[in-house]
A = this chain, B = another copy of it.
């Protein structure tokens, strides 16, 4: 293979951009054919008399746009332009619109049963914008400056009311800390908790984001198996954990609601070991069946529970606002740190107005009804179409359900086959060692009723050869 890029040292464009353009052009015009191996970075740098970084940056750009791909221990190859080179779990909006022109898109997604999708069509955009306009006016320019480090006082005041009447949380506004998303909240918590044994227990399977936040921290993660009614208290008792991260209102990902008796046991564990309970109530607003069970924080008598909530499910993820309720001991530690607030002050103030105006309650009530309808439709369709091939669980709350497919193939095969047909279904991430059957997650928040019906039909057709 002969590569003769014309690199112009005097051009206003950096060398790596010139090199990138050269390859892009050669690939687009099939001068470089699919699966062709590219020269190594070192070889090309020496050959072209440029720095290795120049080549590295050009390759990186080509990689990012999907022109080439990297294969472990073999180097860079012209990409096949097939399949799914973007990880949709972490990166759901790759759209290099300005200055980028990817040659080919991945297989189009027809039906995406993503767990974190919300129904944006119902979002009260006009009411939201009305609050924004009320806020951002020429007389009120002070709000463009830094806000309160702990979060806007007015938002914390209305939140404490809301959490009290809707989730049974006992707190004053002073205890609430706002931050830019739940991972930011967890980051703060790692600093606040005094780790004696350096052990954090969490549900297995559980929420990926916790594990991600842990990277780079010197804390050991102790997986605790999840039983029919939530995490195993017996296993937790053996864990020597300083804290446990749990999702009692709707276990993520398996979906069970922790009964009151187990909640009391969990609290007793915390009291006995002087440990913390991190209660993530990420979608507790959407409960469809069963008696309301108060949040752990609300029945905690010794201030061992840290309650976490978010607006990502109940309103929208785009504004990046989450919150936690700190027990007095941790609040003192937090206030000594003098961290800057991370969530937008404008969004916080808009939210406060939005909640005060009653729109917030109205929106949640409306969405609960809507999501319940969608969920019933999903359950009915699965029953009708897939019948006994599939068992469902985790349907008491939330924006996703769990399906157990009767198949002798692993879940990866089912996911891959679905993807080929343009359907995205998901694995109950981080650890599945204690899950016996072929368990998958189906989110329904972002799909229309018609999409739910058609999606399940196509999924069934695709999986027919894989049922046992």
Contacts and interface: CB of A to CB of B under 8 A. Distances in A.
Given A317-B145, A319-B344, A301 B338 contact: no
Interface string A138-161: 100111111111001110011000
A38 interface: no
Contact of A338 (B143, B170, B212): B212
Contact size class for A?
A: 35 or more
B331 A173 contact: no
A60 interface: yes
Interface stretch (A115-123, A251-259, A454-462): A115-123
A350 to B, nearest CB: 10
Nearest to A64: B174
A451 interface: no
A403 to B, nearest CB: 23
Interface stretch (A22-30, A97-105, A357-365, A417-425): A97-105
Contacts of A148: 91-95
A83 interface: no
A320 B338 contact: no
Contact of A341 (B191, B303, B320): B320
A340 interface: yes
Interface stretch (A49-57, A231-239, A274-282): A49-57
Contact of A328 (B17, B56, B116, B319): B56
Copies in the complex: 2
A98 B215 contact: no
A153 B100 contact: yes
A132 interface: yes
A145 B92 contact: yes
A408 interface: no
B320 A345 contact: yes
Nearest to A321: B344
A344 B320 contact: yes
A465 to B, nearest CB: 33
A342 B184 contact: yes
Contacts of A132: 132
Contacts of A117: 145
A90 interface: yes
Contacts of A146: 92-93, 116, 312, 317-318
Contacts of A116: 146
Interface string A318-345: 1110000000100100000111111111
Interface string A102-128: 000000000000001110110101000
20 contacts: A91-B148, A91-B149, A92-B145, A94-B148, A95-B148, A118-B145, A120-B141, A120-B142, A123-B141, A144-B316, A144-B317, A145-B318, A145-B446, A146-B312, A181-B341, A183-B340, A187-B187, A212-B339, A317-B345, A319-B346
Given A97-B154, A218-B218, 12 more contacts: A93-B145, A97-B153, A97-B157, A120-B141, A125-B141, A145-B317, A145-B318, A180-B343, A212-B338, A319-B346, A320-B341, A347-B347
